[in-house]
Amino acid sequence: MKKLGVKERILQTASKLFYFQGFNQTGINQIIAEAGVAKASMYQHFRSKEDIAVAYLIERHAMWMRQLSNFVSVEKDPKDKIISCFDYLIERVTEVNFRGCGWQNIITDLPEDHYKIRNQVLLHKNDVRAWIKATLKEVKEYSNEEADTLGDEIVILLEGAIIQSQIQKDIWPIHSGKSVCKKIINKNIDNYIV
């Protein structure tokens, strides 16, 4: 960590603490101590704990979207790309011992007035949703409306699978979500539009 600059050390330390310990449970003094920086140095780079959390979420979003894209890129069929999102989740949740989604975790731990953090959570979740819908629009058998509807349903499956795997400390919820996704993605979409 000593080779990293002050800003990078703060961000790396805070990222780990926010993800594994929680936003409210992590104090500025703990971040400063574990990053090995002076308080004045921290305030040169970040005005508040909320600003550090925003930087953490921006960095996490870029990493997550890049890793997802790389993971599903082996699939040629857009439907298979969507289905393989569940395999990506299995890799991610087991890697962090079922700690869950960094965005779900921080939003449930968030004071009401932290709009900058809330906006980053929405940005991530909406980008994932938009990516799913755009990928489904590549499937010739779906109209744009059908792809949008199916995309929303798949987002719910993904989000539910993540939180249930965190609660259960197991991957069966992700396998179940994947199974349902396969069923709805490969059937006539008209049977599922409400």
Query: What is d(CA 58, CA 2) in angstroms, rounded to the nearest whole number?
Result: 23
Q: Average pLDDT for residues 12-28, to the nearest whole number?
A: 93
DSSP 191: G
Angle between helices 144-168 and 78-95 (to 10 degrees): 20
* Level-2 CATH architecture, domain 1-46: Orthogonal Bundle (1.10)
Query: What is d(CA 90, CA 17) in angstroms, rounded to the nearest whole number?
Result: 22
113 three-state secondary structure: coil
Query: What is d(CA 144, CA 8) in angstroms, rounded to the nearest whole number?
Result: 42
Instruction: Compute the mean pLDDT over every residue in the chain, rounded to the nearest whole number.
Output: 92
DSSP 188: -
Q: Left (φ > 0), alpha (ψ -120 to 50) or beta: where does 114 sit? A: beta
Q: Do domains 1-46 and 48-191 have the same CATH topology?
A: no
For residue 2, name the pLDDT band (cuts at 50, 70, 90).
very low
Residue reference for tokens 């960590």: 1
Q: Average pLDDT for residues 126-155, to the nearest whole number?
A: 97
Q: Is residue 142 within 8 Å of 181, Cβ to Cβ?
A: no
- Distinct helix (H) and strand (E) counts, the chain: 9, 0
Q: What tens digit of pLDDT does each residue of 84-134 get?
A: 999 999 999 999 999 989 999 898 878 888 899 999 999 999 999 999 999
Total-model pTM: 0.88
The domain ranges of the chain are 1-46, 48-191
pLDDT at 3: 76
Provide the sign of the torsion angle of the four alpha carbons 55, 58, 62, 68, taken in this order: positive
Token code pair at residue 132: 């799913």
Q: What tens digit of pLDDT does each residue of 24-52 get?
A: 999 999 999 999 999 999 999 999 999 99
Tally the C-alpha atoms within 13 A of residue 68's C-alpha that lie toward its C-beta.
Answer: 20
Is domain 48-191 in CATH 1.10.357.10, yes or no?
yes
For residue 194, name the pLDDT band (cuts at 50, 70, 90).
very low
Query: What is d(CA 52, CA 55) in angstroms, rounded to the nearest whole number?
Result: 5
End-to-end CA distance of the chain: 53
